[in-house]
Amino acid sequence: MRNPHALSDSEYRAMIDRVAKTGMAIYATALGEAEDKAAVRALSARFGLTHLDANWLADEDGISSLTPRDEDTGGKRGDYIPYLTTYLSFYVRMFTNGIS
């Protein structure tokens, strides 16, 4: 998608179709380094997802940041996703309820 702040009708429909078919949608934007949490919030709001149910590793705003870390730096880290600087071979899923 070009801009999650201004999702086109065709981009919206494509996301809905993929979630309906597979239960998830993987997307990439053209924002590059300019992409931030405001973009994630705008995209989520377009689908009616405005209430965040933060997990214990989420940032203060309720959004979980996937940030690479070196093994020896310590700090909070989940056992379920390897937040490393090496290549990751997994995908991130966005679960939603009530998309029609």
Residue at 92 is within a domain: no
pLDDT at 20 over 80: yes
Provide the residue range defining the domain that includes 66: 4-73
Tell me if 11 is assigned to some domain: yes
Q: Could you tell me the two tokens for 73? A: 């730096």
Q: What are the two backbone dihedrals, phi and then psi, of residue 71, each rounded to the nearest 5 degrees? A: -60, -35
Task: Please tell me the predicted confidence (pLDDT) of residue 88.
Answer: 47
Least confident residue range of 23-27, 33-37, 92-96: 92-96
Query: What's the number of domains the chain is made of?
Result: 1
62 within a domain of the structure (yes/no): yes
pLDDT band at 54 (very low <50, low <70, confident <90, very high): confident
Inform me whether the pLDDT recorded for 37 exceeds 70: yes
Helices (H), 1-100: 9-22, 37-46
pLDDT more than 90, % of the chain: 26
CB atoms within 10 A of CB 63: 13
- pLDDT at position 93 is 46
